[in-house]
A = this chain, B = another copy of it.
Amino acid sequence: MSRETPHNDEEGEYATARLADLIGYQLRRASIFDLQGATAALEPVQARPVPFSILLSIVENPGTTSAEICRTLGMKSANIVSILAEFEERGLFLRDADASDQRIQRLFPTRKGEAAAREGLARIIEHENKLLSRLNGSERAELLRLLARLWQPDEPS
């Protein structure tokens, strides 16, 4: 085992890892760094990162529901209410009562909502290209793959 690639032994008597060797620390620093750029990139769209991911969910899945978005994004349903209320007031999507289940409101993007999603996505991509400028194509794909494997229960074939 080389000293350049620190490994945290499960059976080791002493934990020799330092803060900077922890994957959780690197994940958090990288995520916060990205968030700062993403927040700035989305300013013209008047949407913060989490609300924007909700808008994207509606645009990518017209007819989705509040509960479904929460399951997909790992949010509590209590926390999506005010975000949806603001987007609805700004005319970015419409609610349509489900015919066969009165509890459900299906969400459909307006043209204005689709335009906002498109513009925000373009700016996010521009931001990410800067963020990833020091990684080549295969490294970017590898990073995306490794990250997804961390938190996603199963990997689709």
Q: Are B125 and A19 in contact (CB under 8 A)?
A: no
In the assembled complex, the Cα of A135 lies from the Cα of B22 at a distance in Å of 15
Q: In the complex, which residues of chain B have a beta carbon less than 8 angstroms from the beta carbon of A147?
A: 23, 26-27, 29-30, 143
Kindly supply a per-residue 1/0 record for chain A positions 120-157, scoring 1 wherever the CB is within 8 Å of any chain B CB and 0 otherwise: 01101111110110110111111110111111000000
Complexed CA–CA distance, A34 and B128 (Å): 22
Would you call A135 and B124 a contact (CB within 8 A)? Answer: no
Compute how far the CA of A38 lies from the CA of B23 in the bound complex, rounded to whole angstroms: 11
Given A24-B38, A26-B147, A147-B27, also A15-B129 (CB < 8 A): no
B28 touches A150 (CB 8 A): no
B57 engages A121 (CB within 8 Å) = no
Would you call A30 and B29 a contact (CB within 8 A)? Answer: no
Contacting pair B134 A24 (CB below 8 A): no
Q: In chain A between 51 and 84, which residues have their CB closer than 8 angstroms to a CB of chain B?
A: 53, 56-57, 60, 74
Instruction: Specify which chain B residues have a CB less than 8 angstroms from the CB of A125 in the assembled complex.
Output: 8, 10, 15, 17, 22
A-B contact pairs, 10 of them (CB 8 A): A7-B137, A10-B126, A15-B125, A23-B132, A23-B140, A25-B53, A26-B148, A27-B30, A29-B151, A143-B147
Chain A residues at the B interface, C-beta cutoff of 8 Å: 5, 7-8, 10, 14-15, 17-35, 38, 49, 53, 56-57, 60, 74, 118, 121-122, 124-129, 131-132, 134-135, 137-144, 146-151
